[in-house]
Amino acid sequence: MPTTFPKCNPTELMGLLVLLNAHKGSEDVALLADDLDLEIDEILPAVEFAEVLQLVKVVEGRATFTDLGKKLVGGTIRDRKAIIREQLRKTTLFRTLLRALENAPEHSLSDEELGQIISFTTAPADEAVQNIVNWGRYADLFRYDSTEQRLILTRRPAGGKTGPGSSHPPASPGTSAEGAAAPSKANPTPAPGPDPRLASLASVAA
């Protein structure tokens, strides 16, 4: 997969997939935006990242589920996270980030080290950090320690099931269990919250 970075958060992407499912798995992107009373450029980040994760294909402005996308929307929360986790691992950005965490002392990276890794991509660091952390937490790839301001690798036992010491950590105050991260030095102010219309769709998907 190409070197890219998410410009949407997990809630927004799931909201898009639920909406697309309500349209029987295929619809013009402009009509999906109309359903949410959004401009098309407001929905494009979720569409583009869904395509990066190979959950949808977009041809001539029409988004259609792939087989993997159909499997995701039909699965449990655990199934969905497992699919997202494996798809994120295939992207250059997350593969590089996970390799750095594996090789780092105590399997953690400071905000500065995270920013250095992001700087090698085309992503603007301040914009990318929040969503990268959100996605990594949502997929149980890593967690963020807001006290130490460090990214910490999530250890997963063989078979991919979480266990003691490897489960998704409790959300910090003011964050959601779906992966919203605390602000860091690299991104001192929290990113804007998801569009409430997409958020409501995501709650149905859960």
Residue 180's pLDDT is 39
pLDDT at 130: 83
Is the predicted pLDDT of residue 196 greater than 60, yes or no?
no
* pLDDT of 64 over the 80 cut: yes
Q: Which domains does the chain have, with CATH numbers?
A: 10-73+197-205 (1.10.10.10), 77-195 (1.10.10)
Q: Give the residue, 198 or 127, on which the prediction is more confident.
A: 127
pLDDT value at position 146?
A: 87
* HSE value, Cβ hemisphere, 13 Å, CA-based, for 125: 15
- In 3D space, the residue among 2, 5, 1, 3 whose CA is nearest the CA of residue 124 turns out to be 5
Element (H, E) at 103: helix 92-103
Q: What DSSP string describes 18-38?
A: HHHHHTTTEEEHHHHHHHTT-
Looking at the predicted structure, is the pLDDT value of residue 34 above 90? yes
Whose tokens are 């929905």? That residue is 43
Mean local confidence (pLDDT), 170-184? 38
**155 Cβ partners below 8 Å, 6+ apart?**
107, 165, 166
Instruction: Tell me the pTM.
Output: 0.74
Q: What's the whole-number mean pLDDT along residues 41-68?
A: 96
Instruction: Determine how β-strand 150-153 pairs with β-strand 56-59.
Output: unpaired
